[in-house]
Amino acid sequence: MPTLDTHGKIAAAEIAFYTPVAAFTIALVWRYAFRRDAGWLFLFIFSAVRIAEGALVLAGELTAQPKVDLFIAAYVLQAAGLAPLLLSTIGFLGMAGQSTYSEISRVSLIFRLTGLATLAGLGLSIAGGLLGTHVSPDKGDTGLILRRASAGVFAGAYVVLFLAHLGCWSYHFQMRSYRLKLLGGATLALPLLGVRVAYAVLSAWSASDLFGTSLSSNPILAKFNPLNGQWVAYLVMSVIMEFVVVALYLLFSTVLSRRHGR
């Protein structure tokens, strides 16, 4: 009978973690009927992506004769899932700045352009993941370029968001306390999100194929391949960083951001 390897066990843990997160965030989206910025919506989408990714990995590992398409889909989602997490960051920064910096056209434009760039990175990631597989086996080089371009776009979007969030603090004296707490939560989460983005960049250069069979000749880069590199690096820099970022966003956008006083 097939058994789970380390990645399968991590996938099971992701399903266990993100299932209640998905239920909670969709309940928040339904309750507020999109009257707030879309941080919770994108957090729900991110959770759904991680649940789907985990389910595909489990299905592939627990099937006697698994189809390669299960693993292709899981590995594509693993990389592309960073996009909704970045988009949720934009949503929460926008939520924190309601009635203050979010009303400034320049800030709103920065958030919108960063969101569009993130969506472009998402498209590049999906296309790059498919090219070079049996879907289009003769375009592996193009797929590699697209995957690396996607990681670069995600990194650029993160840098813009980090710098923009620093600028948001200049409006702290105008912000109500509960919105200030949410901005503080973003400040705590962003460095951890940066670790996750850094892992995405390193993993994009860790191998020349989606399955990690052709690892980089650089032994340091090869360690950051999510499939055939060091699983501890994947667990800590990718999975756990995402867990903590999601937990911080939920904590500071709900419990700690309730309206008490000013």
Tell how many helices (H) and how many strands (E) occur in the chain.
10, 0
Give the model confidence (pLDDT) of 55-94 as tens digits: 999 999 998 888 899 999 999 999 999 999 999 999 999 9
Handedness of CA 209, 234, 91, 51 (dihedral sign): positive
Q: Residue 30: exposed, middle, or buried by beta-carbon count in 10 A (0-12, 13-18, 19+)?
A: exposed
Place 118 in a pLDDT band, splitting at 50, 70 and 90: very high
3-state secondary structure (DSSP) of residue 207:
strand
Query: Counting every residue, how long is the chain?
Result: 262
- Mean pLDDT, rounded, for 138-150: 93
Q: What are the phi and psi torsion angles at 166 (to 5°)? A: -65, -40
pTM of the model: 0.94
Asked whether the predicted pLDDT for residue 1 surpasses 50, the reply is yes
Other Cβ atoms within 10 Å of 33 Cβ, number: 7
Q: Which residues contact 35 (CB under 8 A, 6 or more apart)?
A: none
